[in-house]
Structure 1
């Protein structure tokens, strides 16, 4: 590739003969985003001048995995590469958004169809690590969901909090809620008590690895011109389907969404008791990304579980 690999790809593999316009579109706070208009249609391009290709590679693999389920609409990724001046880019399908976020009941059904179709035999995790916001998200394949969630979700966020804030109080309280890997056993004096006390939360629950968007909040949900839901900017991995609702506190999901979802993926016993366990991951991530404003919300969830589990 030469000085402009984006332009070169569009004019070769993108099947365009000319680029008729480039304009900036909303791309969030991490990346720059542009719409490239051509005689072969439009392309959506995100660039980041300060990071390598791994973040966009993770996004592309997630989009591909969701696209292959033929359920909820996602933009199809075409190309990930490095910029000659440093940084990276991703080229994907451009979707013209509609005026609203669309029908919540349709989104609920389509999301459930994605979870149902996206079953994985390898276990819990993903082929690559990716990011949740700008935080690394570790996706090492693990056969047991509670271990995966404890080590690579809550555990990883707690380590970040301890490094960033030296917040031993929040760390010590959360370690009572879930069992971590063997490296933490010396710290987790009460680990064995925890295993016994966790059982009521997952009693009679079948946990299968299902493809998750991973970061489903209102900013990553839209609709196309026909009103069909579109989901964007994933942090994909294979996990317990209920973990998809961890960002529900800023997604605006209502009754029609959940009713439609559970028609396809039936609600399992104890769903309400487990819901905040998945919210906690995202509160901890916001705590690490944005500061102490999220600390009290995380602590409130932790305290509630400690009372519930009587540990």
Structure 2
């Protein structure tokens, strides 16, 4: 049950770009599933600037590996022993909340993200018998490519569920945990970071000093927030329906 979270924590840990509790072992004891990890005393986030810088470094890590390989300059580079991931997805299933995520690799971000939305809509249809979100999404799909027009989207290793409750501060600095990791568009991680209380503005200011906003950023943020509102509808019920419908109608 915790194999996906173990793999996500380990992938982030191996980059050395942002602090996570080091995962030790995922195991079961009878019907109880467990994840053992390094102990950290975690309090509220204090250094938002450093978190923003480190999150940008995490997102740039795989992108830099790809670009270095394209330039045939791996030999002697800092990450010469690591191969980049050129696809979108993740080697194992993870969970966002309690809902398993289909992380089967795709060649394009557009295909991977559209599938994430499709999976959430299937849950809404099955559990709440509501077809209207699917109808609105299908109306939008023919123009989804316009949201990525002019963008070179290379896979970044993402936390995947980076709301304010999944980050804090320990004696070593900012720390993140409880990921739903996969390789995707770096902007995706910022969408939930502005929801449900969000993070201080210092996080985003520091992040965008390293990764500036590109044209269409705000529209894509709304698109990516749609996944999280649908996911919350799937988890917690129709209280999130209005937010989902508002975004779908505005796309």
Q: Which runs of 5+ in 1 are unaligned?
A: 1-54, 179-193, 306-311
Residue 50 of structure 2: aligned partner: 106
> SS at the partner of 1:127?
coil
Corresponding position: 1:246 with 2:209: no
Corresponding position: 1:167 with 2:130: yes
Q: Could you tell me the TM-score, scaled by structure 1's length?
A: 0.71
Distance in 2, matches of 1:240 and 1:128, equals 18
Distance in 2, matches of 1:255 and 1:246, equals 14
> SS at the partner of 2:146?
helix
Asked if the contact 1:245–1:279 (Cα under 8 Å) also holds between the matched residues in 2, the reply is no
1:6-155 to 2 correspondence within 5 Å? 55-83=1-29, 85-98=30-43, 100-119=44-63, 120-151=84-115, 153-155=116-118
1:275 to 214, 221, 238: 221
> SS at the partner of 1:80?
strand
Distance in 2, matches of 1:273 and 1:219, equals 25
1:181-209 alpha-carbon deviations (Å, 9 max, x no partner): xxxxxxxxxxxxx1xx3343212211111
Report how many residues are paired: 230
Distance in 2, matches of 1:160 and 1:62, equals 24
Distance in 1, matches of 2:108 and 2:146, equals 17
Asked if the contact 1:106–1:257 (Cα under 8 Å) also holds between the matched residues in 2, the reply is yes
Residue 233 of structure 1: aligned partner: 178
1:172-183 to 2 correspondence within 5 Å? 172-178=135-141
Moved over 2 A (4+): 118-122, 197-200
1:112-150 alpha-carbon deviations (Å, 9 max, x no partner): 001111344340000001110001111000001111110
CA RMSD of aligned residues (A): 1.3
Distance in 2, matches of 1:158 and 1:92, equals 34
Q: Which runs of 5+ in 2 are unaligned?
A: 64-83
Distance in 1, matches of 2:217 and 2:8, equals 26
> SS at the partner of 1:101?
coil
1:150-171 alpha-carbon deviations (Å, 9 max, x no partner): 01x1010001111111101111
Which structure has the bigger radius of gyration? 1
Distance in 2, matches of 1:244 and 1:297, equals 19
Asked if the contact 2:8–2:180 (Cα under 8 Å) also holds between the matched residues in 1, the reply is yes
1:78-126 alpha-carbon deviations (Å, 9 max, x no partner): 111120x22221111001224x312211111110001111344340000
Per chain length, whose mean CA-contact separation is higher, i.e. which structure has more relative contact order (CA < 8 Å, sep 6+)?
Answer: 2
Residue 257 of structure 1: aligned partner: 203
